[in-house]
Amino acid sequence: MNRLLSALVLATLCVAAAAQSSNHQYITVVAEPDHADWTYHTGETPRLTAYAIKENVRMKGVEISYSYGPDKLDAVGSGTVTTGDDGLARFTIPAAKQPGFTSVRVKVYHEGRYYTSMTNIAFDPLKIQPTTTMPADFEQFWSDAIQKAALVPMNPSLRHNAEQSNDRVDVYYLKMQSYRKGNYVYGVLTVPKTSGRKPAILRLPGAAVRTFNGPHELAYEGFVVLEIGVHGIPVDQDPEIYRQLEAGALSGYTTIGIDNRDTYYYMRSILGCVRAVDFLCTLPDVDTTRIATYGGSQGGMLSIMTAALNPKVSALFAYFPAFCDLTGYYYGRGAGWPHLFRDPNEPNLEARMNVSKYYDTVNFARLLRVPGFYAWGYNDPACCPTSTYSAYNVITAPKTLQVGRDTGHWLYPWQVDNALRWIKTQFHME
């Protein structure tokens, strides 16, 4: 694996990782579980060692506050311990009665500042089951929507971008009709200048309203790469336009139209992703037997959904997918981004939850028939592990999961390296 490529892809996929490293705390406070994998069976009592490190030395005689509670929910217990001459302090938390995650937060106050961290402890995570259910007409609903959208002419247009192209790849800006007349998908296509048909990757975006450009780094590894937006707007405009849209018309887009399954915002987005795979299959450079979907967070959700709905997809990589088990909060446990239904007094709550079942990543995961590579961490505050395991555990297709336990909403380079190596192996490229 080309290490430069891995670094570039990591930068693309995991902007949050850079933010994390730039905010390194002067004092690092740690809650270390007595199981190295942070994983217990239900009924087991976790024993933790707490310590605070300042300038690479454990601090003696410092008071550490701790609290614990279910993943993404309020703490249910707390306490304090004081480190001894070895700089260590120990405490226990109650065993969980059901599979899930318990968040342990530790805090130190020093010279006018608080320093904190979180350790999410797992209890039989591979036994976590979703709270959402699949509607009886789920498959029919999406089959009908796809068939209706297929009646709309694709009418694709490609605009070559000479500035972004080079002696190894060509870059094009795509506009194609999708979903209904006058509705478009926009994206950036990067095509290697090598001969013959090549595997293709549909790169799907995380949550934001932003621009895209080429070339995509994966094209240098031999893939045709199509990176699309999901908002039906051009992807090559001035950044100020996207800032205004995100603050205005597209503010809170995850709830637009949520009162009706036929008007929900993501209907267009999902069908656009399905149509993007169909477009890739029209390209003479693409080997239609080797197409993968690829993305994280919102992009991970769309990667799973697209692979479930379009039989032309033969593999997928989804990291910390969003929209998993959206009804979790209603049933008293953590749910995935965008954290809907936390307020039991929300207007039209029951109808909205019923709509969510047609868009929950869990229900698409139930339909997967192609191999997938998945990656996340225990400490993800956005797409919490309770939610992502809810989706992973219902998948019956071949699946590989690599967990970086202390990661948040980002990945380590080795997770990215292994994912790309896995995709290349699936497509017989190495």
How many whole angstroms separate alpha carbon 122 and alpha carbon 38?
A: 6
Q: If you average pLDDT over residues 214-221, what whole number do you get?
A: 96
- Given the structure tokens 């929950």, which residue do they identify? 360
Q: Is a pLDDT exceeding 80 seen at residue 9? A: no
pLDDT per residue over 333-350, tens digit each? 999 999 999 999 999 999
The number of residues in the chain equals: 430
Q: Please determine, for residue 389, whether its predicted confidence score (pLDDT) is greater than 90.
A: yes
**CA distance readout (Å), 99 to 3, 95, 365:** 38, 10, 20
Residue 143 in this model has a pLDDT that exceeds 70: yes
The continuous run of DSSP H or E covering 110 comes out as strand 100-110
**Of 87, 111, 116, residue with least CA distance to 23:** 116
Inter-residue contact 222 to 192 (CB < 8 Å): yes
pLDDT in tens, 299-317: 999 999 999 999 999 999 9
- Confirm whether 409 is a catalytic residue: yes
Q: Which helix (H) or strand (E) holds 42?
A: none
On the question of pLDDT at 5 being above 60, the answer is no
Could you tell me which of 184, 186, 175, 181 has the C-alpha nearest to residue 148?
Answer: 181
pLDDT band at 21; cut points 50, 70, 90: very low
pLDDT digit string, tens, across residues 365-385: 999 999 999 999 999 999 999
d(CA 398, CA 266): 27
CB 52 within 8 A of CB 28: yes
For 387-414, what is the mean pLDDT?
97
pLDDT tens digits along 59-90: 999 999 999 999 999 999 999 999 999 999 99
Is there a contact between 324 and 388 (Cβ–Cβ < 8 Å)? yes
Per-residue confidence at 25, pLDDT binned at 50, 70, 90?
confident
Q: What pLDDT score was predicted for residue 6? A: 46
Nearest CA to 154 out of 134, 174, 126, 129 is that of 174
Distance CA 186, CA 296 (A): 19
* Number of Cβ within a 10 Å radius of residue 325: 29
Question: What is the tally of helices (H) and strands (E) in the chain?
Answer: 10, 18
CB-based contacts of 352, cutoff 8 Å, min separation 6: 258, 259, 340, 341, 346
Residue 53 phi/psi, 5° resolution? -115, 125
Told to judge if 297 belongs to the known catalytic residues of this protein, a careful annotator would answer yes
Catalytic pick among 71, 360, 380, 417: 380
Any residues with CB less than 8 A from the CB of 355 and at least 6 apart, and which? Answer: 258, 259, 260, 261, 264
pTM: 0.94
DSSP type of residue 127: G
Q: Which residue in the list 103, 117, 269, 297 is annotated as catalytic?
A: 297
More confident of the two residues 22 and 79: 79
Domains of the chain in sequence order: 24-125 (2.60.40.10), 129-426 (3.40.50.1820)
Question: Which stretches of 358-412 are DSSP H helices?
Answer: 361-365, 385-392
Check whether 7 has a pLDDT greater than 90: no
Q: Which two tokens stand for residue 123?
A: 């209890």
Could you tell me what percent of the chain has a pLDDT over 90?
93
Largest CA distance in the chain: 73
pLDDT at 239 over 70: yes
Question: Can you tell me whether residue 29 is helix, strand or coil?
Answer: strand
Query: By C-alpha distance, which of 216, 224, 217, 229 is closest to 195?
Result: 224
pLDDT at 18 over 70: no
Tell me which of 170, 390, 409, 417 is the catalytic residue: 409
Other CB atoms within a 10 A radius of the CB of residue 332 amount to 9
Residue 149: band (very low, low, confident or very high) from pLDDT cuts 50, 70, 90: very high
pLDDT at 22: 40
Query: With bands split at pLDDT 50, 70 and 90, how would you rate the model's confidence at 121?
Result: very high
Confidence at residue 179, expressed as pLDDT on a 0 to 100 scale: 87
pLDDT of residue 237: 93
Whether pLDDT at 23 is above 80: no
Which pLDDT band holds residue 24 (cuts at 50, 70, 90)? confident
Q: What is the pLDDT of residue 1?
A: 46
pLDDT at 292 over 60: yes
Q: For 17-40, what is the mean pLDDT? A: 79
